[in-house]
Amino acid sequence: MAKVMTYATAIDNAIAGNLTEETVERLNALKVQLAKRNSGSGERKPTKTQRENEEFKGKIVALLTDEVDGMTATEIGNALAISCQRVSPILKKMVEAETLAKVKEGKVMRFVLA
């Protein structure tokens, strides 16, 4: 039984300038596989963390509904019992999506509903 060339071997051969028919076939197979992976055609399920973050986004909106002056990331994290390191990227994405706005008060950054 013939041994199948690995992708790594095919890449090494190509770098060395040894482009045999087998090497070219293997590299074309890799190219097809990468194109399929990168096409975005496959619907991926959100990860556990992504699902949790979506829940936190709803909770953040609910928290800020009653807060006219807004809240800091630390205050939001404390209210949701999550770390500031966890809440900060969620807040950043919400600002980018224009769900929230940042209001700077001196050295303090507060978040309000947009």
Retrieve residue 1's tokens: 């039984």
**How far is 113 from 68, CA to CA, in rounded Å?**
9
What percent of the chain is predicted at pLDDT more than 90? 57
pLDDT tens per residue across span 55-87 = 999 999 999 998 888 999 999 999 999 999 999
What are the residue boundaries of the structural domains of the chain, listed by start?
A: 7-38, 48-113
pLDDT tens per residue across span 34-63 = 888 777 655 678 889 999 999 999 999 999
**How far is 62 from 82, CA to CA, in rounded Å?**
16
Q: Domain 48-113: which topology?
A: Arc Repressor Mutant, subunit A (1.10.10)
pLDDT at 100: 94
What is the chain's alpha carbon radius of gyration, rounded to the nearest angstrom?
24
